[in-house]
Amino acid sequence: MASKVLKMVPPIFFWGCNMDKHALAMVLMDEYNLKILAASALKPMSVREIAYKFDIPLASAYRKIKELEGFGLIKVEDTKLTPDGKRYKLYRSQVENFEVSYHRDKLRIKLHIKWQEPEIIERNILTS
């Protein structure tokens, strides 16, 4: 039997507040993070499902989910029980879309998170 847990905890990442723009760009450009965001946008997934689907070690999958969760890019949608009573979480991507562009010395990311206005992040490559 499944139990649903609703948490109204804000994400660790707050737009515009001491944002590490370089870290966000690196998180969004990571191949596995992109796959996790894309797959979990279609349906909520457990960390085990993600690890199996993308053939990555379970510890790495947990680390990637924690990283994405820290930036508010993914969140727990549901908590379920296994037949033997162990709990596991199902994660869903919060990213509607994002665009990355580069012009001269500026990297620009337009990120649209569900339920928020799109955020534009610019980073000067030469001085950052």
Q: Is 36 buried (19+), middle (13-18) or exposed (0-12) by CB count in 10 A?
A: buried
Q: What is the pLDDT of residues 59-93, one digit of tens each?
A: 999 999 999 999 999 999 999 999 999 999 999 99
Does residue 89 form part of some domain? yes
pLDDT for residue 128: 56
Q: Examine the pLDDT at 14 and tell me if it is beyond 50.
A: no
Q: Is residue 120 part of a domain?
A: no
Question: 16: pLDDT confidence band, cut at 50, 70 and 90?
Answer: very low
In which domain, by residue range, is 34 found? 21-94
Residue 102 within any structural domain of the chain: no
CATH number at 29 reads 1.10.10.10
The answer to the question of residue 85 being in a domain is: yes
Q: What is the pTM of this model?
A: 0.74
Report the number of distinct structural domains present in the chain: 1
Average pLDDT over residues 83-107: 90
How many whole angstroms separate alpha carbon 4 and alpha carbon 81? 10
